[in-house]
Structure 1
Amino acid sequence: MNILLVGINTKYIHTNLAVRILKRYAAPRCSSPIETAEYTINQYTDDILRDIYLKKPDMIGFSCYLWNITFVQILMDALKKVLSNCILFVGGPETSFDSADVLARTKADFVIRGEGEIPFTEAVLALEQGQTLENVRGITWRKPTGEIIENPDPAASIDMADVPFVYTKEELPAHQIVYYEATRGCPFSCQYCLSGHNSRVRFRPLTQVYEDLSFFLSENVPQVKFVDRTFNCNREYAMAIWTYLREHDNGVTNFHFEMAAELIDKEMIEWLSDVRPGLFQFEIGVQSTNPDTLKAVKRITLPDKLTPVITALKQPQNIHLHLDLIAGLPFEGYDRFKESFNYVYSLSPDQLQLGFLKLLKGSGLYQNREQYGLVCRSDAPYEILCTPWISFDELLRLKRIAEMVELYYNTLRYRQSLSALLSQFSTPFDCFEALADFYEANGYHLAPHTKLENYTILFRFYESIAPERAEWFSWLLRFDLYAHEKAKKLPPFMDEGKKAEYHSRIYAFFDDPQARAAYLPEYAEMDTRQIIRSAHIEVFPFNPFTHTPGDTAVLFNYRRLTFDKNASAVMISL
């Protein structure tokens, strides 16, 4: 029996941890060969169907999530027609909580509910021995007669020490994010999240964690994302892992953790204050600042508890902070969400992730949707359409605002210009709201845009609200453009600037050995012309850092990056 485990990801850079774990756990316990295959939802279904069909599997399992369930249903329908004797099964968060309904509406033969290692292995062993699935705990299955049977849950959860490490040098994904799991379960009961069902947290033994992390470090993996729902739920455990990573830091790998800010104490903050910039990346779910909303979704932390922690974490500028908000939660309307947005923005996160409530099957809010009057789409991803507190019109507007935040804030390309733009508005929300309205009024939302076009759109927006300062703003955009890259082409609204006036002096600076040694030691192997092609000097009619009038030369060093991955920019004398 040839078995194929399929992961269908949202993007190429993502990897599927589930199918890798199932394969690695079951392979030594079963006689059947097990393969994995990964695709993305951006591929043609015909191409994926062809690839799977040509492998001629006898059993196919799909890892199912919000983003791929419709895709999987289409594939299973076709596969059942061309591989009629093939056994199809599904598992994952999108199929675990309504498994009988999943079987009723799809071509799957059985569903694995919850953790899959043990049920999958036992199902394979039963089928290898010619048995039915009636004694396999943790699955819902369809008899040949069509009757759907829901077997009891497993007697016990898998021991985290038995969860296999799935990466090898040969199978390490190139140019993709690597996912890693140290714990399962979550101590919190957030009503929008499926993890709230299991308050018992299980921990992988630290000796095994250290061994696993050592592999990532030795291979210089760019980024490892811990999938643990609340990584720091156990202080000592988290500190032990952080200490290991700090002591064995390879200077390259970044580790991403989902954190509960209220569990970070002063001692931890002090310890974190001098770790290598870029070693850690924290994602903290604020979700809302409305006390009534937080109570309804069983979030226990109010903003006054978060502010000092997040502010202290930001101060050393060595840890990337991602802060999350969820629009459409109970008791939070458009105006009240504006307050939550402005609060999070005031904390200056490196990423502000504005998400929209999804009524996940099995979550508390899904079960209580009628009580709260929550209306969502019937199909995945079950996103909120309206509530008694916020209309569909308002959610559509927030969607456009989220796009502007993603484009002009989260890309980290518009630091100087965005700061100047915000000064024209009472609050950050007002700024992004007006920008979103401008974007739509001019039809910019109807087509994708190049990087230079995005700079032009932002210039046109500023010009529409402060035309007398438009030229000044264009220089700030020029700064942001060169901070991000050595631009070979400028947007149409930018002229040549002071290039001709200062050309000879700029060349002389790059040709001066003392200047190169002081400001550009990273370019020591290059001659003057090579440096000119690699670094950049721009002369501004004012100091771009203080806005004081007077010609100011700024050197952009693309081999020395700031914490937000922009070029180091320093004032020089010409």
Structure 2
Amino acid sequence: MPDIVLTTLNARYWHSSFGLRYLIANMGPLAESTVMLEFGINENLADVLESIVSQNPKIVGIGVYIWNIEPATKLVADLKKLRPDITVVIGGPEVSYESEQQQIVQLADYLVTGEADLALPELCRNLLAKTPPLEKVIPGGVPALSEVKMPYHLYTEEDIKNRVIYVEASRGCPFTCEFCLSALEIPVRQFDVDEFLGKMQLLLDGGAKQFKFVDRTFNLNMRVSKAILQFFLDRYRPDLFLHFEMIPDRLPDSLREMISRFPPGALQFEIGVQTFNDDVGDLISRKQDNEKLAENFEFLRKETGVHIHADLIVGLPGETVESFGTGFDRLLKLNPQEIQVGILKRLRGTPITRHDEDWEMIYSQSAPYEILSTKLVPFEDLQRMRRFAKFWDLIGNSGNFLESRELIWSDANSPFVEFLKLSDWLYAREGQSHGIPLTRLAERMFNFLVQVQQRSEEVVAHAIWNDYTRGGREDRPHFLRKFDLPHPRKRTHEAKELPQRQSRHVVGNTGTK
């Protein structure tokens, strides 16, 4: 039986816990008596509890995040009731700040804050040696990355086949955006790039195809960025997919040349635009060269095959629905494949709370602590924007409506205004913004474009049919059966090798070289 169980509740099965793997990789001699158990947030907690106690451990470490705080709290409560002899240690971003009043902290025996790679193994050694620390809260500190062992050998064959493979070449962020936990992680620290690439080679040799880099600023250090891109270019194969988080206004020529050599869909850049409102940017300590950003987007869309996933935030202090809409239209004009409309969250420890009084910021008290209303955006409007975000993801981002979505705003001054009308219209008929089958959503799109916007039935039918069959479907929805439509197109081999969502954008892509 192991002495230590490390566990967490992942948001989805196909997610993998990067943090747990780091902890085990750094357990040293204790690794042999440590077991990792991963669960999902929707699993029955009694079954989770059974799996943990069946190992009869002395110590249980639990990773706590914004997506699992509620079930994790229940799990710790039940575990301490059932087996009070087990020492429960918690850690993770959700409990690393403002922890004093949190129920889960009160229930647990110990809390390791911040980066626990080295602090948790030391705590476990002391506990097993029966020399427990006097303090309940153990600061993880900011360990030198030269002392932190990388965890990539712990990704199993099943992980590589079925789960997201997270990797990182650096930690930290040089910026101070007040809504983001990364703003608290200064300075940026780099892993040794040669050692890191050696680990990437092991993953490639093990069959890994998709790599999600969690570095907050991948394009900050040009030497490292170029080394990583060159490494994957030299080993490129059609099923390779790399995800990076990028600074929007930093893309020098040396990096551009290398990026342009990847084929369409192989690279995905998550680019945090967040707001185009300069006054809001000043309020939240965010500096951004929007002209340079636009220039970089134009290059990426016209000269490369990069899939751009751009982020905008609703509910920032000083932002109105109208000014957000202006920013949305500005971003849409830059033609990213996806615009992630996120609702502002009040993450523990972030200084965004300094605006609560002046801007009347009211947040939900339950995770994920989303904004409920502000001085400029009442609750009712924020609810409309939540639905806008969900419908935009279904229609604007998914790749299922690449052609027909353009009809919504083709004759309008503001795509945002027109899509908000569609969002309101859809919600009035569906009563929800989730769980809508694709066929019914396509029919709703048809009816809105024809009945509300008075567009030609034939034009709309052809656009929706092209969209519907883009992913390889051949069945014809009943509402399209009266139209003379072409035979479904065949998917290209390259598109089939990519993740499904990105592959639809590649098939329908007209913006890349």
Paired residue for 2:4? 3
Paired residue for 1:509? none
Distance between the aligned counterparts of 1:263 and 1:347, measured in 2?
Answer: 16
Decide whether the 8 Å contact of 1:557 with 1:568 is kept in 2.
Answer: no
Are 2:241 and 1:254 aligned? yes
Are 2:261 and 1:284 aligned? no
Are 2:181 and 1:243 aligned? no
Decide whether the 8 Å contact of 1:182 with 1:203 is kept in 2.
Answer: yes
Give matches, 1:30-429, under 5 Å. Answer: 30=30, 33-102=33-102, 106-134=106-134, 141=136, 150=137, 154=141, 157-160=143-146, 162-168=148-154, 170=156, 173=159, 174-429=161-416
Decide whether the 8 Å contact of 2:76 with 2:107 is kept in 1.
Answer: yes
Distance between the aligned counterparts of 1:153 and 1:51, measured in 2?
Answer: 28
Distance between the aligned counterparts of 2:205 and 2:221, measured in 1?
Answer: 27
Distance between the aligned counterparts of 1:367 and 1:248, measured in 2?
Answer: 48
Are 2:478 and 1:492 aligned? yes
Call closer, same or farther: CA 1:30–1:468 in 2, change over 3 Å.
closer
Choose 1 or 2 for highest CA Rg: 1
Segments of 5+ residues of structure 2 without an aligned counterpart are none
Call closer, same or farther: CA 1:322–1:23 in 2, change over 3 Å.
same
Distance between the aligned counterparts of 2:451 and 2:90, measured in 1?
Answer: 53
Paired residue for 1:472? 459
The DSSP-based 3-state class of the residue aligned with 1:352 is strand
- Aligned residues: CA RMSD: 2.3
Give TM-score, length-normalised by structure 1: 0.82
Structure 1, residues 161-219: CA drift from partner, whole Å, max 9, x if none? 53223335745503211101211111111111111122211111011111111122223
Decide whether the 8 Å contact of 1:160 with 1:183 is kept in 2.
Answer: no
Give matches, 1:545-564, under 5 Å. Answer: 556-560=489-493, 564=502
Structure 1, residues 449-480: CA drift from partner, whole Å, max 9, x if none? 22211111111111222446123311221121
Moved more, 402-411 or 165-174: 165-174
Distance between the aligned counterparts of 1:185 and 1:306, measured in 2?
Answer: 22
The DSSP-based 3-state class of the residue aligned with 2:282 is helix
Paired residue for 2:17? 16
Distance between the aligned counterparts of 1:157 and 1:273, measured in 2?
Answer: 36
Are 2:370 and 1:437 aligned? no
Are 2:447 and 1:460 aligned? yes
Decide whether the 8 Å contact of 1:62 with 1:89 is kept in 2.
Answer: yes
Call closer, same or farther: CA 1:16–1:493 in 2, change over 3 Å.
same
Call closer, same or farther: CA 1:169–1:58 in 2, change over 3 Å.
closer
The DSSP-based 3-state class of the residue aligned with 2:287 is coil
Decide whether the 8 Å contact of 1:160 with 1:202 is kept in 2.
Answer: no
Paired residue for 2:503? 565
The DSSP-based 3-state class of the residue aligned with 1:30 is helix
The DSSP-based 3-state class of the residue aligned with 2:94 is coil
The DSSP-based 3-state class of the residue aligned with 1:448 is coil
Q: 1:368 offset after TM fit, Å? A: 4.5
Q: 1:411 offset after TM fit, Å? A: 0.9
Higher relative contact order (CA 8 A, sep 6+): 2
Decide whether the 8 Å contact of 1:89 with 1:111 is kept in 2.
Answer: yes
Distance between the aligned counterparts of 1:169 and 1:115, measured in 2?
Answer: 20
Give TM-score, length-normalised by structure 2: 0.92
Which letter does structure 2 place at the counterpart of 1:121?
P
Moved more, 167-176 or 178-187: 167-176
Structure 1, residues 365-384: CA drift from partner, whole Å, max 9, x if none? 13553344321112221111
Call closer, same or farther: CA 1:437–1:104 in 2, change over 3 Å.
closer
Decide whether the 8 Å contact of 1:256 with 1:280 is kept in 2.
Answer: yes
The DSSP-based 3-state class of the residue aligned with 1:484 is coil
Distance between the aligned counterparts of 1:169 and 1:445, measured in 2?
Answer: 38
Q: 1:277 offset after TM fit, Å? A: 2.4
Which letter does structure 2 place at the counterpart of 1:376?
Y
Count the aligned residue pairs. Answer: 501
Which letter does structure 2 place at the counterpart of 1:365?
I
Decide whether the 8 Å contact of 1:560 with 1:568 is kept in 2.
Answer: no
Call closer, same or farther: CA 1:82–1:257 in 2, change over 3 Å.
same
Distance between the aligned counterparts of 2:307 and 2:5, measured in 1?
Answer: 38
Distance between the aligned counterparts of 2:77 and 2:379, measured in 1?
Answer: 33
Q: 1:448 offset after TM fit, Å? A: 2.4
Structure 1, residues 312-341: CA drift from partner, whole Å, max 9, x if none? 011134111110001111110111111111
Give matches, 1:525-564, under 5 Å. Answer: 539=486, 556-560=489-493, 564=502
Q: 1:438 offset after TM fit, Å? A: 0.8
Decide whether the 8 Å contact of 2:111 with 2:138 is kept in 1.
Answer: no
In percent, how many aligned pairs have the same letter?
Answer: 27
Decide whether the 8 Å contact of 2:314 with 2:344 is kept in 1.
Answer: yes
Call closer, same or farther: CA 1:427–1:556 in 2, change over 3 Å.
same
Which letter does structure 1 place at the counterpart of 2:490?
N
Distance between the aligned counterparts of 1:468 and 1:196, measured in 2?
Answer: 47
Distance between the aligned counterparts of 2:447 and 2:46, measured in 1?
Answer: 43
Distance between the aligned counterparts of 1:399 and 1:42, measured in 2?
Answer: 23
The DSSP-based 3-state class of the residue aligned with 1:380 is coil
Segments of 5+ residues of structure 1 without an aligned counterpart are 135-139, 142-149, 499-537, 540-553
Q: 1:130 offset after TM fit, Å? A: 1.0
Which letter does structure 1 place at the counterpart of 2:237?
N
Distance between the aligned counterparts of 2:442 and 2:298, measured in 1?
Answer: 30
Decide whether the 8 Å contact of 1:63 with 1:90 is kept in 2.
Answer: yes
Moved more, 463-472 or 192-201: 463-472
Distance between the aligned counterparts of 1:391 and 1:467, measured in 2?
Answer: 32
Distance between the aligned counterparts of 1:569 and 1:356, measured in 2?
Answer: 29
Structure 1, residues 124-173: CA drift from partner, whole Å, max 9, x if none? 11112111213xxxxx51xxxxxxxx45665x623345322333574550
Which letter does structure 1 place at the counterpart of 2:435?
P
